[in-house]
Structure 1
Amino acid sequence: MTWLEALLKLFAPQATAPTVALPGVTFHDRRRFAIQAHGPERQWKTTGRKWNRVTGITLHQTASLLGERPERWDTVGCHVGITRAGKVIHLHGFDRWVAHGNAWNDQCVGIEIDGLYAGIEGDESTVWDDPSTARRETGMTPTPEAIKAACDTVRWICAEVERHGGKVHALVAHRQSSMSRRNDPGSALWKAVALPMHAEIGLSDGGVGFKLGGSAIPEVWDERCKGIRY
């Protein structure tokens, strides 16, 4: 066995193939390739953890456009990627600690939804500007395919974690754990994915005003959060 084979065996994802049906979704399992893409020097960004440590899901936007080719996602720091066409790309097992969400890393599974979305839908001043370009970035609108795939993925994660003896209680935003990610995932994705899943599955964002090193969910994202500014 070569050193590379030994390394890949050591860091191989422990989660089994998905057992929950995702009807109407194109699924790509890229776990083996994502581990390789990180390489030995970046392995600290993905290590093992126990299933009972997984208690939440974090929603992210990529703030870019990675596209539909699954291999383009291999270096993304998250567990699952969702493309604009609604493809689900499994990058790391849910029993892996992945650097994706600051204070959420220890207990959360990270979902990245492809696209650049305004923090407040319709307010272009809340769109993240790419410092490598001189142009003002324009926000996108989430596609129905991406929204459906994201909701299906939340259901799948909850079922998989429970199947392995854990329990997901929370569905949170990266915004809540990072002061520099106020627009992550943005109002449109939060309203289209998080709020319906909170109601359907009984998940929580921690309650009105809750944050962990970042900014609380604002009223413009959830009308129950009265008085909390973006």
Structure 2
Amino acid sequence: MTSDLPVILASFFTAGVEWVEAFTIVLAVALAIGWPRAIAAGGAALAILGLLTLFGAHAVSAIGNLRIIQFVIGVFLTLFGMRWLAKAIARAAGLRRLRDEDAAFAALSGSQALAETQGAMLVAFQGVLMEGLEVWLIVVALGVQTGQTEVAAVSAVAALVAVMGAGMMLRAPLSRVPENTIKYMVGCAVLGFGTFWMLASLGYVWPIGDYALPALMAFYALGGLVLIRTLQRLER
């Protein structure tokens, strides 16, 4: 699609969910050993993610064969979107517990891992890195395929700033963020991107062109709602 909006929204909301979870970890560490050390550890992880983004985008682009790139990215996004959408559907249907940032924060705050400064910094570093890896994968995949890596990266950084700003103001886990709803929407969007590009790479010509992308997203969203209702009835 010619518009940057789908890439901006997918990157921003994917990153937003992951940064919320990363902030919960950094907050627990900060309260144990102080903000400067916690931010330094988290910042080191973000620096690595930035380098990985540059390297990843260059490495994928170096493949040269655009159809292979499109197929690989399409398959990855399809699997990624299916995983997020399946989790969101299971949670919405009551088959899995919703993520509770307050509970996650309480559990981590009472962990022995935060008893020593070095161990606590390692927790913050690993937490931000692991949560950020999914952000990195989405930024590289969407960026390379659309030629908008900078747009995707800036969107992810904007989400980081928004989450950090809100978290620093509240000094509490961002438990009111509707993580499952966001994961549901992102899952539909990413699954739509993946399906669109994977089939296009195999030679399928979409009859309505780029307009098939929002149609696919709407199809997965409606299908997910039907599945949630069905699972809820079966559960009863």
Compare the two structures and name the one with the higher helix fraction.
2
Of the two structures, which has the highest relative contact order with CA contacts closer than 8 Å and spacing of 6 or more? 2
Q: Structure 2-normalised TM-score?
A: 0.23
Q: Structure 1-normalised TM-score?
A: 0.23
The structure whose Rg is larger is: 2
Compare the two structures and name the one with the higher strand fraction.
1
